Amino acid sequence: MAGAPEWTSFENLAIYMFLEKYPHKSSENIADEIFNNSFLKNNFFIHRKNVDTIKQHVDLLRKPEYHGRLFIPDYKNLK
């Protein structure tokens, strides 16, 4: 049985945007907001079936050593 697909750049970007906008929020709060947002859930996080999966990935993306490994578009300078 195969697991969920790799995290997409869109999922990572959404998480990074939440982390930048709400650095004071816990990973659990950010995961809850993403999971309960119908637009994000239905369009970008369609393979993420529970909030704990998203929380674990938010925890991972908070670690500085992972920032350079992920391809995240520079959304502030999109042309």
pTM of the complete model: 0.77
- Give the integer Cα–Cα distance in Å for 75 and 79: 9
- The pLDDT assigned to 77 comes to 65
Q: pLDDT tens across 53-70, in order?
A: 999 999 999 888 876 655
Amino acid at 31: A
Domain assignment of residue 8, yes or no: no
Find out whether 8 and 44 touch, Cβ atoms under 8 Å. yes
Domain assignment of residue 40, yes or no: yes
Alpha helices (H) along the chain:
9-21, 27-36, 38-43, 51-62, 64-67
Report the domain count for the chain: 1
Neighbour tally for 69: CB within 10 Å: 6
Q: pLDDT tens across 4-52, in order?
A: 788 888 898 899 889 889 989 999 999 999 999 999 999 989 888 899 9
Domain assignment of residue 18, yes or no: no
- Residue span of the structural domain in which 58 resides: 23-71
